[in-house]
């Protein structure tokens, strides 16, 4: 007991001496707060396939064909320049991003990407002009959302996600799977899925991720979200 009191007294004297000299007691590793640096934020990214000289050099056109774009994109929800298009053989492409650098009297052109993680695109030369009413609020979409009881912000369901665990996910189309009352909105490269909407109320977004083979989902930080 005497040995313990002696050690304690030495410690108290050392702390008091440090304070008296204008210093601060050194925190132990257990008490120290890790240096967080700048506040972590999700990076909001936009795909821009075209430049003034045409298709950007980082992309490669695997196919060039005629096509028609008659509907707004169902995956790049906040992009007025994104479309759901049909190729010459009836293939559906979504999203397709229009070339804004063409002269008004030139045939329209769009680049269609399967995901923002691949450099391969399909370039469509449009046989009919784009319907510019898309740039105004779509009353039909608003009515459909109201009837469904939802009010979606475009970033609730970004086109693609890069997660802090290294997985990359893209928004699914067609008939979606529902598990535990939650819709699997994203399919991921490593076989996992993302349920529900992306939580973007804070600077660092989160997504409810179920890894392949796991029995429970968990929240994962979203490093980047693509539109």
Distance CA 161, CA 171 (A): 8
pTM: predicted TM-score of the whole model, two decimal places: 0.73
d(CA 15, CA 49): 61
pLDDT tens track for 176-205? 899 888 999 999 999 999 999 999 999 999
Each residue's pLDDT tens digit, 135-178:
444 443 444 344 333 467 879 999 999 999 999 999 998 888 99
Q: Which two tokens stand for residue 40?
A: 């972590």
Domain ranges of the chain: 44-135, 152-226
Q: What is the pLDDT of residues 98-143, one digit of tens each?
A: 999 998 888 899 999 999 999 999 999 999 999 765 444 444 344 4
Cα distance from N-terminal residue to C-terminal residue, the chain: 67
């Amino acid at each position: 007991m005497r040995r313990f009191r002696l050690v304690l007294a030495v410690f108290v004297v050392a702390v008091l001496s440090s304070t008296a000299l204008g210093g601060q007691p050194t925190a132990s590793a257990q008490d120290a707060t890790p240096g967080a640096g700048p506040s972590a934020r999700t990076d909001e990214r936009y795909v821009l396939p075209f430049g003034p000289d045409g298709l950007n050099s980082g992309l490669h056109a695997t196919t060039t064909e005629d096509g028609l774009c008659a509907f707004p994109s169902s995956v790049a929800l906040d992009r007025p320049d994104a479309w759901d298009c049909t190729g010459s053989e009836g293939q559906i492409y979504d999203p397709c991003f229009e070339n804004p650098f063409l002269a008004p009297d030139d045939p329209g052109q769009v680049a269609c990407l399967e995901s923002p993680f691949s450099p391969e695109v399909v370039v469509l030369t449009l046989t009919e002009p784009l319907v510019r009413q898309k740039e105004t609020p779509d009353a039909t979409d608003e009515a459909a959302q109201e009837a469904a009881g939802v009010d979606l912000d475009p970033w609730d369901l970004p086109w693609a996600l890069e997660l802090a665990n290294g997985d990359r996910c893209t928004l699914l189309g067609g008939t979606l799977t529902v598990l535990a009352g939650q819709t699997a909105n994203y399919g991921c490269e490593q076989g996992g899925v993302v349920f529900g909407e992306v939580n973007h109320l804070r600077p660092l977004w989160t997504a409810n991720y179920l890894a392949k083979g796991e029995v429970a989902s968990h929240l994962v930080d979203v490093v980047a979200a693509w539109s």
